[in-house]
Every structure is written in structure tokens, then in C-alpha cells.
Structure 1
């Protein structure tokens, strides 16, 4: 005989008492069904929450990946833009136009040397020598990148117009690396440095380009040889005079291939890299002067 459960409902005011009798099995079945419904709701809610969380997490990861990719693309863009700024500055220097930014002044290890700097050369060229050393051009913040690109585009338009008008003049302005070799690199930049011979702080009047011994040295512009021989400190040296006030000097050569009075055009081989004179190893001392004053040769090398 199954048990029964009786529920009495007694109202506050006078009224009929309600008597409900429920079979125990029915009550247990109802309770079980209710529990199953609750459990099903919990399971469904948990599954839905898991799916929702998983989708959100996946979406956040995708967005983070896209952000990282855009950030890398932006960094690459800024690096390439920095190269563009350096190129622009060099082109403006070659064209004789006012630069917008100073170029990079690199310095590394390797063959170095040069003559003792003269007080006259330094005092005459102070305004050209005070170019700040930096790891690269000053790049704009992300918000100003578009404006900087537009300004650079305008500058290149100005340069193009100038080059089209001054083609003959530019043939006489130093504008290429005198060492056309992938193995060449700058071991000592233009400006103050620790002298590689005596360890004192000295002003370096050019740049040192390291390259294997007997690598060809080329004329960076049309000109005429005004000196070819031995020079104190620089060893075997060639000096070229170009039009419009430019002179270029090439020191520490192993062999000189041009003599005084020879006319050269851009790209002609004038000597071979060596380590003659006051030098620690094979390299070329490259020096540029404009109207008798030193200028940074790096600004006259188009990579």
C-alpha cells in the first residue's frame, strides 16, 4: 500500500479548508521531473555560456592577431618611410636645396685612419660639422604619418622638377658610393670620434669605407684629377675637382690609377682600396668639400 501525502490549505478568514491528498509515487515523480527540468536548464545554460565564451575568446584572439599584424605593418611602413626621408635628405643635399632632416651618421668597427685634423679646417667648417648623430631620422607619431607622407611627396616633386632642369649640373655633383661593392661598409663616420691610432678625441674630416684590399674606387661625379700621389697621413691619395665648388679626396689607396690632369666621368675607376699611410686596415677615406668647407660625405652617397 503506497503512502499518501496530505496538504491542508487553511485560509486566514473563515472559509472552507482545502484538503489535497497526493500519492507518494506521484509526488516523487513530480519532484524528479522538476529536478530534471532544472538540471536540463543548468546544462543548456552552461553549454550556451561555454559556446558564447568560446566565440568571444576566438573573436578577441582574431582581433588581437589583426592588431598585431597592423602594428607590424605600421612598424615596417615607418622603417621604409625613414629610409625615404634619408634618401630625400641626400637628394636635397646633392641638389643644393635646404634639407628637412639630418641623415644618419653611422659608425662601426673596421679599418680606420686619416690625417691629424687641422684647426683651420675645423674652424672653417663648424657649421657643416654640427650634424647630430642619431640611429635614424626622426619619424612622426602614427597620427602624423599621413601628413609627413604628403610633405615628403611634395618635396620629391620639387626635387624631380629641379633634377629635370639641372641634369648637366648634377653630373658634376658627387652622388654615388665610390666603392660599388656589397662588402663595403662605413667603419667610421663624419665628425668627432676616438682616434684609432692614438686614442684621442679628434674630428674626422670624412668617412671610412671598409672594403677588401684592391677593391676598385670610382669617381662619384665628373671632374679632373688635381692631385695623385703620397700625402701625409692619407698615404696614396687622389683628389678630384668637380664643378660648382666640389672637391673629393680618396685616401689610403693601395694603387693610384689616375694622374694629375686626367679628366674622369662618374663611375671611372681612379684607384684601388688599400691601407697606406696612417691606417689600421684596408679601407677608403672619403672626403667631400664644398667651396673649401667640409660636408658630410654620407649625404652624397645614394644607397
Structure 2
């Protein structure tokens, strides 16, 4: 130590620190080594203070940037959610308007069918009347011919009696009476004939007017049918596209829904046939529209039973998607939101599990139709029980931070036949419909 002090004397000469009081004076001897230790310690403290201050400043700057970025992301997602909500409302309004138009058109078709049946009945009555008029005309014509034959016979008889010497005056009177009778009969027959001809002409005119009315009605029916067919196409195609995007077979799906809803009844009439045994084309088109309406109804039922809507409706932040994450497979999609944010069932189904599961925390499983199961993990509160039936839009729990979780969020899974698939496939498929 003395040798070290001796070496450091040139740089740090020995110093005395005097301490004076009222009665005496003392001093502290500061050797070179002590001075070196003090300087090194003071330098270390100053350096540590500078480094710590820099770290705090950089951390505050970085935190501020992160908060600004988070605010920008939140604003962007809120704007996107508002746009999606507006688009959903527009689609819903269009669907309601199409349904109202269809109901109105269906009522008009019903009224037109009634008018068409009444017109056809009137036409059949006129045809029967014309046949009766023609039969009466033929009968009157025959009676007129018989009267002519009788007149000829009477003339011949009169001539014969005159030749045989009968009284001419008596024969003339008989002939005059017969002629008057025949003239009256012929006049009556001519009047009936004129009436029948006039009635026949009126019937023909009425038939032509009815044919023109039927043509107008047929054109109106065709226009209504075209409108309804276009409305059915516009209504069915988005649903069909939605199910196909989700990877579901629409044929098998509709068959399965139809088996579950196989009841029949209601005001829909079967195919009607004409008196000649032919199918009415308008009835065929109406039944085709009814089939499309039935298909649309089946799609609507299926859409209620498949998870095409979001399980979170309040403000949220998309934090993690489906796929590999940190060397492991992430089988769902994460939506971050404050604790207590409501979780809603995206489709009709039955609760098969509601409790604690390792890693998942508080977990709810819902079994839907078509072999689909949904899972909702890390909840703070479960609001359903096992065996409970839920409908699309029912609240099933609250977002939390239970289980293996780094913050409050919903871990949402969709499994088909037990195999996990990306939930965003269903969510994106239903964006243009719901």
C-alpha cells in the first residue's frame, strides 16, 4: 500500500483536510490511494446517473411513440369497424327492402291469379253461351227450312184442290191464313236470328277484349316474375358464396337443414293444370320462385347455425392470428379488449363445456350444426351452463385474463370435425351478408 501511495504521489500528492472548531483544530490525511478511490467512485456515480437518465429519457420517448402508434391503430380499427357496421346496416336494409318487395309482388301475383281465374271462368261461360247460341241458330234455321217445306206443300195442295174443283174462295181463305201464319213464324225466326247474330258478334268482341286483357295480364305477370327472379338471384347468390368461401358444401348443407325442417303446409298451392291437362307456364314460374324462396329460407336457417359473425361487438384490437407462433401452432384468433367486455355466440348451438381448462383458463365450448364447434378461452366470467341452448347474439361470457395469458383478451377457435381452422375464413365470408 505504501509503495502504491509512493507511485501515486506525483499525480495525487498527499493532502490534509483541516476541521476547525472553537477549542481545537483537527485534520484528516488524504493519501494518494484514498484520493484515487474517491475520484473513481465519484466518476462512477456521475456516469451511472448519466446512463440512467438517458435510459429513462429513451424509454419515455419510446413509450410515447408506442402510445401514439396504439392510438393510431385504435382509431384505424374503430374507423374500419364503423365502416363495416354501416355496410352491414345497408345490407340488412337492402335485404328487408327486397323481402318487402317480394311480399308485395307475391300479393300482386295472388290477386292477378284470382283475376286470371275469373277471366278464364268468364271466357268458358261465353264459350258455352256461344255454343248455345249456335245451337239455337241451327235449330231456328231448321225450323225455317221446315216452314218453307210446309209452305211449298200447302201451295201444291192448293193447286191440287183448285184443279179438283174445290171452292176457290174457301181455298183462298185457307191459303191466306196459312201464309199469315208462315209469315209470322218467319218474322219471329228472323228476329231470333238477328238477336243471335248480334249476341254472337258481342261475344266475339268480348272474347277479343278478354284476349287483350289476358295479354296485358300476361305481360305484367312476366315483368313481375322477372323482378322476383332477379330478387331471388340477388338474395341467394351472396349466401351461396358465403358458404362456399367457408368451405361448406351447399348441397349437403341444404339437405341437412331440409331434413331438420321437413314439415309441410301453409298457403303455397301445388301445380295447377288447365282443362286440357297442360301445365300453366305462369304456375311453373311461380313454383320456381317458391322453390328459390324455400332455398333462401334454408340458407337463412343455415346461416343462423354457422359462426359467420364476430364474437366481440365492442371495441377490440386484433393481436394474434391463426398459424404458427413462437414455434408452436396457434389454433385460434385473439381479440384484445378490457376485462368484462361481452362475448356473444356467433351462431345457434348447444354448450358442451363451461369451466376451467388448463392453459385456456375459463373456457366455453359450443357445438353447432354441420360438425362445427367454437371455443372461447381466458374468460373472466362464464354466463352459460353445459347443455344450455344458445342463439346467435346471446351473451355467453366476459373477456378476461385467466389461464396462460399475457393480458385480457378472447382466444376464439373454430373446429370442423375436430380439426381447427382459421376463424377469419368464416368472419370474412359473412362480412358482406351480416
TM range (shorter): 0.3 to 0.5
User: What TM-score, normalized to structure 1?
Assistant: 0.46
User: What TM-score, normalized to structure 2?
Assistant: 0.33
Report the structure number with the largest CA radius of gyration. 2
